[in-house]
Structure 1
Amino acid sequence: MNNFELGVKALQEGNLEEAASHLTKEIEENPTNALAYLNFGQLLLEIQDVERACRFFEKALELDAELAPAHYMVGNVYFEDGKYELAKKHFQHCVKLGMDESDVHFMIGLCCVNNGEDRFALPFFQRAIELNPEDIEAVFQYGLCLAKLEVLDQAEEKLLQVLSMDDTHADAHYNLGIIKMYQDDLEGAKNHFKKAIESQENHMLAMHALNVIEQGD
């Protein structure tokens, strides 16, 4: 195996020092190998060196503007840094380059949500669910968007689907409780708020909502 292959193998096995050594040699010997920069960036993310990692991902894109995994990694870095519009552009570029995967569509949806564009997020969460029906967070975010847009029947259906996959999902219980309040079903709301608190003891929103109902009884 050459230095690049040895570096990737070491990275996959968690041998970061060995991976760094091989990938450094590869970059020195083949400075136009975009994949070497991509993998070195992933290595830097493993040690929480986000700033340098982003520079390596950007170098990979400078060498190969159509390297979809590099766009995905840069998108994640921008997302974590709160630069949602920039992140979205990179994730959307991944899709244009053929990366039609659940995680990519999910991240575009999250970018839309964080930009206050809940309506635009819906088709991306829907596509993420189509590609991976077991993606509980995609189902939850889809239901949450529907709730914020006051499409309550469909929101309730999706949040119940979340609970069918994980009955201890505190935020699903909390949001179902809010929907029940809108439906004037206070007992149903109390039940969901209590379950949210059982699942997450410090769920302040559920505690507050439950207190409001109980004070009104």
Structure 2
Amino acid sequence: MNRNHEAFQLWEKGEFNEAIQLLIEEINDNPANSDSYYNLATMFILGKKYEDAKAILETAIEKYPENSIFVYAFGNLYYEIEDYSTSLTYFNQVIQFTETPLKKDAMVMIGQNFLALNQSKKALAYFLSAYEEDPLDLTVILIIGNTLMETGSFNEAKHYFELSIEQAPKNDEAWFKRGVVGMALKEEDHSVKHYFNKAKELNPITYGKRIDQLQSIEAVIKTQEE
């Protein structure tokens, strides 16, 4: 079995030290395998061993300066430790690469950084750019809808939640959020209940948790009305 694959199996079983050790062995035996550096750094980040992750990534970038995945990983590292300005620097570097499969993902992460910095409008601009890169990415569509809803742009948010439902009819979050914007837009009660009931049918446990969050959402709606 491929050591990288085996390492993640160990990780999923909770055998963290064994997984890390296996990747270290792979790097020692096959130093040209760039995947092993990335996977090891990712495990260190997940395990909150940030200095170890940084050391691995510095080595990897030195060996593979043209590989955007390590720049992207550095962005993730600094995002995790809430150093958003540094994280933004790395993700902006990723989108400057002439050829990279990570452009859309980097745009999403730039948006997430701006959300963390309470700059929703800037975040939205990058989420929309990511959507242009891949209009079928359900995760991005939902992020756009959520961001629009947070800024009080309920009519615009409605469009993206309906798009989510159209593309993934079994996504309970899309149904629930469509119900929320329906409330904000003062749609007919039976229409709003339809969305909520569908969300409850698809995932009753998550539905209960989301209902508990409605008070904060209603506070945003009230602010917009005032």
TM-score, with structure 2 as normaliser: 0.70
Q: Which amino acid aligns with 1:187?
A: H
Q: Deviations over 1:109-161 (max 9, x none)?
A: 12222222111112211222222222101011111222222322221111111
Tell me the equivalent position of 2:24. 20
Deviation at 1:172, TM superposition (A): 2.1
Q: Deviations over 1:144-194 (max 9, x none)?
A: 222222322221111111111222323322222221112222322222222
Residues 78, 195 of structure 1: CA spacing in aligned structure 2 closer, same or farther, 3 A cutoff?
farther
Tell me the equivalent position of 2:16. none
Deviation at 1:82, TM superposition (A): 3.6
Residues 45, 149 of structure 1: CA spacing in aligned structure 2 closer, same or farther, 3 A cutoff?
closer
Give runs of aligned pairs for residues 112-131 of structure 1, distance below 5 A: 112-131=114-133
For the pair 1:201 / 2:202, whether they are aligned, the reply is no
TM-score, with structure 1 as normaliser: 0.73
List alignment gaps of at least 5 residues for structure 2. Answer: 8-18, 216-226
Deviation at 1:46, TM superposition (A): 4.3
What is the alpha-carbon distance in structure 1 between the residues aligned to residue 62 and residue 197 of structure 2? 52
Tell me the equivalent position of 2:159. 157
RMSD: 3.2
Give runs of aligned pairs for residues 137-216 of structure 1, distance below 5 A: 137-185=139-187, 186-198=189-201, 199-202=203-206, 203-206=208-211, 209=214
Residues 67, 192 of structure 1: CA spacing in aligned structure 2 closer, same or farther, 3 A cutoff?
same
The structure with the larger Rg is 1
